[in-house]
Structure 1
Amino acid sequence: MRNKKKTLSTVLTTLTISAMVVAGCSSNSGNENGGNVKPNNTNKGTGTEASATPKEIGYPEKVSYWVGLNSNAGATMKDYNGIAAYKELEKITGTKVEFQHPPTGQEKDQFNLMIASGKMPDVIEYTWSAAPKGADSLIKEKRIIRLNELIEEHAPYLTKVLNDNPEFRKMITTDEGNIYVMPFLLGDPMLSVFYGPVLRGDWLENLNLEVPKTISEWETVLTAFRDQDPNKNGEKDEIPYLFDIAALDTGQLFLGAWGIMSEFYQVDGKVNYGPIQPEFKEFLETMARWYKEGLIDKEYPTTIDGKLRDAKVTGNRLGSLSTYPGSGIGRYTDLMKGEIPEVSFIGAPYPTLDGGDNAIGFYAHPFRTIGAAISTSAKNPEEIVKWLDYKYSQEGHMLFNFGIEGESYEMVDGYPKYTDLIMNNPDGLPITQAMAQNFIASWSGPMVQDKRYLEQYLQLDTQKEAQQTWAQADHTKLMPPVTLTADESSKVSSIMNDVKTYRDEMINRFIMGEEPIENFDKFVDTINKMNVDEAIAAQQAALDRYKNR
């Protein structure tokens, strides 16, 4: 595994992408998406292209395009045609886009209905790992088309990105050798880290405490938060830590100290399921003790509601949680600094058990199955590929990461610096909404995101420092972006839907003391009887295929 880690690190650190979430890394609220990089392709269009008309180049006259509506865009517009970058793209290519946005919260259901009906638009942008069947099956069933040859012939900019970065090509290619999307790509390892443990820095300072690095140090800090009135209101109303199962799955906080994960993970090429490992019992014992001792929010199962969580944070009661740089560190700082000028939120390392090897932490792979596929309903796939490829060109890259030069950014000493239209919006829009009016860098799309976007999106030093701290976690045990066959996908979904429901229920019961930890073996037996071994075997087969791509 050490060699594999070194290989991936070498690939990523030697990328020609230089200049990313989720994603949500500004001091304002935003989508936490992760991943922004300068494209590998720095070639400008040829002189012929520059002087040719859209018709001569071969761009489509119109395209129907299905994609979820980003919340920051939806706050000020009805569809993506309101984005300045897309308006400019229409001027450049002559292509009119009919955007089809499913109702917010219904994206998955609407996608499944669309695929089942066979009545599809030209382009479908989606997180394809959420599709009920794998991409290979969707190609065989003539729902979407294989793009390999079309990309090779009609997408010179994306082709260069893939040629310069073989790891990208491996990730976007299925086990059967199909490329099925024009992908959304992250290119720098730092851009893949945008979630982790956060503590109230001013509380630590009030109590003369250091940022904790181990489980025992965390317990010391949380105990002090409970007992020593860090919010200085004279009341014992502090909540040391907010546990959250969703945060556990996302960031593996605390659990990663035991060297396992809450879902599937791999060690030296062998797939494991974390909750049935002996270490999971030790983790639950610790969390149960912390809950009993008042170190974990007693109401945590109900605090998954964002408004309740926000109220506890902004009410100056919550000492620590797992969150993002943008909608966590940045947004809470903005919301609280008026009443508490000294407020600060500090990103802490993913804690270890004994200060030894780094614990497992959050990491987003450069390709997370987000991308634009072309449906079999499209009558002009070659033209559509050429149109989508524009975003991977230098001009398209700048347009969709920074907007229009002279309006949303200016070049300053070779650096695309956002103007006050973005950073100090005259209409009072938060940065994320101002960005969404001009370009799509703050979420995703068929493009390569630019690191320079992130450098300006992260306005606070605490945000930047948190990301650097979280990047030190161990990422070697995470599963790569494997693909399941249709049969495997159906089987794994059926098994794991039931397993996860049971797992979540029992995690809460164990932690809250409703189920004695002595019953952990019964918990494992029940999961085994749910045929989790078959799901593990399917993941193992997918991992083996991925390694052989």
Structure 2
Amino acid sequence: MKKIVTAAALLWLAGCEADTGAQPDGSPAAVAVRPNGLPITDRTIMLRIPMVKQPYFNDLDDMITLKRLEQKTNIDIEWKQIPVEGFKDRINLMLASGELPDAFFYGLGSQDVVKYGSQGTLIPLEDLIERYAPNISRIFDEYPQVRRTATAPDGHIYSLPWFKDQDFFEYRNTFLINQTWLDTLGLRMPETTEQFYDVLKAFKERDPNGNGAADEIPATFRYNVTTNGYYELFGAFGVIDAVSYLYVQDRQVKFEATGERYKEAIRFLHRLYAEGLLDPETFTQDTKQLLSKTKNDVPIVGVLASFNGTFELDWDRLKTYVPMPPLQGPHGDRVWRRQDNRIIPNYFSITSANRYPEATMRLVDVMNEPKSVLEFQQGPFGTHLKEREDGKIEVLYPPPGTDIVYWIGSVTPSTTLPLMISKEWMSKVIPHETDQLREQFYRVYKPYIAKEEETYPSIYLTAEQNKRVSILGADINKYVRQMEAKWIVQGGVDADWDDYVAELNRMGLGELMRIRQKAYDQFYGYGSK
């Protein structure tokens, strides 16, 4: 969009800091950047930024939150909107070719950030944050773990994370069980792995949906994914994390998939599969196939894993399901996998091609002003949010028949921005119905979520460490996943075990764990042992 700079807009220039100066080679004339207040610059500048075009997004140029941001900051953004399919390839091409945008919102991996940060393609942000980003600085001061997570091994910050201090983001999956089926069959909520087996067997054999057909699927999951996965079941056998396979004991990083408790969990899952209690399509189905079962006209699913159930089940059907508490295993273990999504790295970086890095940092900080951050998360006040007389902020519901994800995505690209929301501001918001539901589920799992000190954190590795981990880790994880699927479907974990462990060692598991340990020690400032 084009804007006219009035004389009034120049009155504050004495309080601005010069960003760039006119150069003999004809580069742009000086742009004054205001360290606080609005607009950010004395004249309109243009930034070129790629953005993933999610299916639920409107055109970014039509989003009211972004249009208002440009108007009040004096910064026009030329969005390069790229569909989800192929987005990562396009980003990789930009980085490899040197045809750089001014910044990246979302889309870079941790390996990208370290590699291109150390090469100078991405610039350090910490000084810009200190001088031009009081809102982000406040979050870093209040939550040192956010700053630590954003800091690369060389001490620089090359990318800002997404952060929301909401407790229910400490875990990912809720296991939902059909309470109507339990009531129909006169069954109690299972509390142990053996009771769970008995319940699934009853779901399979006793026609809980009452249609006279043997069409019930006792439990359905998806393989090799976090949401909808079955990996939380491993916690009943004392496994801390069956997704990353990493856990920490007395500051020592260990590998789950070579331990006896992992093997015992595999035996249990094979027992369920062999008796038809796990969906036989668990290892092949995609999201569409899963939804065809959970949303079938006649209820046919007894147990599923979900973030909050609203995606997999419609609201009416969701009322017939309840969260199943973590199961207690044969040795008394009762652990629920921690997946702490309160901090997600790599949501904003500035490139070396950017002529206005100070203004760009201020732009992102303006997004994170207390009320602005809520508007960029939920949508504007008036249509999506309402401030009440008591100071509380109410999240408004979409029009009837409108999905809330599309309702928000029509006005803000909330899932792709480096938004940082403190507990103080979260406490002002009256939760939406979906958040209330998630909070109820969280209370069921909270006592059993693996401790933070037992969980391997999200860590930036050095370029050399990344190089080795990308080789060793990919091959090792692929092999473990393949064997896991084989054993659950076919059995044979005990017969194959010694050869399996030997193969992992041959593949470099020892070296991989030494790298993980060193990175862990560096992250927390521990001396290597």
TM-score class, shorter-chain normalisation, is 0.7 to 0.9
Choose from 113, 117, 127 the match for 1:139.
117
Distance in 1, Cα, partners of 2:190 & 2:353: 55
Answering whether residue 150 of structure 2 is matched by residue 172 of structure 1, we say yes
Partner of 1:334: 314
Conservation of the 8 A alpha-carbon contact between 2:203 and 2:302: yes
Could you say which residue in structure 1 is the equivalent of 2:250? 268
SS at match of 1:410: strand
Greater CA drift, 459-468 or 524-533? 459-468
Q: Contact 2:161–2:346 (CA<8 Å) still a contact in 1?
A: yes
Equivalence for 1:20: none
Matched with 2:511 is 534
Structure with greater proportional strand content: 2
Q: Secondary structure at the match of 1:67?
A: strand
| 1:389 to 2:365 alignment | yes
Root-mean-square deviation (CA), in Å? 2.7
Match of 2:16 in 1: none
**1:475 match:** 450
Q: Which of 82, 103, 117 is matched with 1:123 structurally?
A: 103
Taking the TM superposition and a 5 Å limit, the aligned residue runs for 1:277-288 are 277-288=259-270
For the Cα contact (< 8 Å) 2:223–2:230, is it kept in 1?
no
- The verdict on how the C-alpha distance between 1:248 and 1:82 changes in structure 2, with shifts beyond 3 A counting, is closer
Matches of 1:462 and 1:388, distance apart in 2 = 31
Displacement of 1:376 in angstroms is 0.7
So what's the TM-score if we normalise by structure 1? 0.81
Counterpart residue number, 2:480 = 503
In structure 1, distance between residues paired with 2:260 and 2:88: 35
Q: CA deviation at 1:202?
A: 1.6
Match of 1:235 in 2: 213
1:73-99: CA deviation from partner (whole Å, max 9, x where unpaired) = 1xxx23x22322111111211211112
1:398 and 1:388, CA in 2 relative to 1: closer, same or farther beyond 3 A? Answer: same
After TM superposition, list the pairs within 5 Å mapping 1:390-405 onto structure 2: 390-405=366-381
Deviation at 1:112, TM superposition (A): 2.2
Distance across 2 between alignment mates of 1:188 and 1:131:
23
Closer, same or farther in 2 for the Cα pair 1:323/1:459, shift >3 Å?
closer
Which residues in structure 2 correspond to 1:459-470 (within 5 Å)? Answer: 459=434, 462-470=437-445
In our comparison, the structure showing a higher alpha carbon Rg is 2
Matched residue type, 1:465: Q
Larger RCO: Structure 1 or Structure 2 (Cα < 8 Å, ≥ 6 residues apart)? 1
Deviations 1:485-522 (A, max 9, x none): 11111111111222222222211211111645421222
Aligned: 1:290 with 2:272: yes
User: Structure 1 residues 368, 408: CA separation in 2 closer, same or farther (over 3 Å shift)?
Assistant: closer
> In structure 2, how many angstroms separate the alpha carbons of the residues matched to 1:186 and 1:496?
29
* Separation in 2, partners of 1:144, 1:208: 61
Q: Which ranges of structure 1 fall in alignment gaps of 5 or more residues?
A: 1-46
- The equivalent residue for 2:52 is 68
1:446 aligned partner: 418
1:424 to 382, 398, 401: 398
Q: Give the alignment partner of residue 181 of structure 2, picking from 195, 199, 203.
A: 203
Q: Which segment drifts farther, 471-480 or 530-539?
A: 471-480
- Contact 2:254-2:513 within 8 A present in 1 as well: yes
Cα distance, 1:231 vs. partner? Answer: 1.1
- 1:251 Cα shift? 6.9
Choose which of 144, 162, 167 in structure 2 pairs with 1:189: 167
Contact 1:147 / 1:181 at 8 angstroms: preserved in 2?
Answer: yes
- Which residue does 2:336 correspond to in 1? 360
Deviation at residue 453 of structure 1 after TM alignment: 9.7
- Determine whether 1:414 maps to 2:391: yes
What's 2:301 paired with?
318
Count of residues paired in the alignment: 481
The answer to whether residue 409 in structure 2 is matched with residue 436 in structure 1 is yes
CA change 1:137–1:301 in 2 (3 A) is: closer
What secondary structure does 1:488 align onto? helix
Q: Which amino acid in 1 is paired with 2:408? A: M
For 1:109 and 1:201, the matched residues in 2 are separated by 44
Distance 1:408 1:126 in 2: 24
The aligned amino acid for 1:524 is: V
Decide whether the 8 Å contact of 2:263 with 2:493 is kept in 1: no
Conservation of the 8 A alpha-carbon contact between 2:373 and 2:420:
yes
